[in-house]
Amino acid sequence: MEIKLRQVNSVSGIIEVPGDKSITHRSIMFSSLSEGSSVIRNYLLSNDCDRTITAFRKVGARIRSDKNNLYIKGVGLKLINPTGENYNIYAGNSGTTARLFSGIFSGQNFETIITGDYSLSIRPMQRVIDPLLEMGADIKSNGGLLPLVINGRESLKAINYKSEKSTAQVKSAVLLAGLYADGPTTYSEPVKSRDHSERMLKIFGVNIDIKGNSVTIYPTDKLIAQDLTIPGDISSAAFFIAAALIVPNSNLTIKNVGINPTRNALIEVLKQMGANITLINTREVSHEPVCDIIIKYSRLKAVNIDASIIPRMIDEIPIFTLISTQAEGVTKISGAEELKIKETDRIGVVVSQFKKLGVQIEALEDGFLIDGRNEFALTGGAIVDSFKDHRMAMTLAVASLIAKGETVIKNSDCVNISFPGFYRMLNSICD
Residues that bind ligand S3P (CB under 6 A): 22, 96, 167-169, 172, 194, 314-315
In this complex, which beta carbon is closest to ligand S3P, that of residue 235 or of residue 412?
235
To ligand S3P, the closest distance from the beta carbon of 210 in angstroms equals 16
In this complex, which beta carbon is closest to ligand S3P, that of residue 17 or of residue 168?
168
Number of residues in the chain: 431
- Give dist(CA 127, CA 77) in Å, integer: 24
Give helix 21-32 / helix 168-178 axis angle, nearest 10°: 10
Q: Which of 283, 266, 325, 278 is nearest to 300 (CA)?
A: 325
To ligand S3P, the closest distance from the beta carbon of 171 in angstroms equals 7
Burial of 104 (0-12, 13-18, 19+ CB in 10 A): buried
- Give dist(CA 365, CA 347) in Å, integer: 9
Four-residue CA torsion sign, 189, 195, 199, 202: negative
In this complex, which beta carbon is closest to ligand S3P, that of residue 198 or of residue 292?
198
Q: Residues 370, 323: contact at Cβ < 8 Å?
A: no
From the candidates 315, 371, 389, 413, which is the catalytic residue?
315
- Give dist(CA 187, CA 194) in Å, integer: 13
In this complex, which beta carbon is closest to ligand S3P, that of residue 195 or of residue 292?
195
User: What is the DSSP track for 335-361?
Assistant: S-GGGGGSSS-HHHHHHHHHHHTT-EE
Q: Around Cβ 63, how many Cβ atoms within 10 Å?
A: 19
To ligand S3P, the closest distance from the beta carbon of 248 in angstroms equals 31
- Give dist(CA 217, CA 231) in Å, integer: 25
Q: Residues 1, 416: contact at Cβ < 8 Å?
A: no
- Give dist(CA 295, CA 245) in Å, integer: 7
To ligand S3P, the closest distance from the beta carbon of 195 in angstroms equals 10
In this complex, which beta carbon is closest to ligand S3P, that of residue 292 or of residue 315?
315
In this complex, which beta carbon is closest to ligand S3P, that of residue 302 or of residue 309?
309
In this complex, which beta carbon is closest to ligand S3P, that of residue 217 or of residue 300?
217
- Give dist(CA 11, CA 290) in Å, integer: 23
CA distances to 22, 185, 226, 238, 389 from 114, rounded to whole Å, are: 19, 24, 28, 31, 21
In this complex, which beta carbon is closest to ligand S3P, that of residue 201 or of residue 430?
201
Q: How many helices (H) and strands (E) does the chain have?
A: 13, 27
User: Any idea what the Cα angle at residue 356 is, between residues 352 and 361, rounded to 5°?
Assistant: 55
Is residue 195 among the annotated active site residues? no
Q: Which residues are catalytic?
A: 315
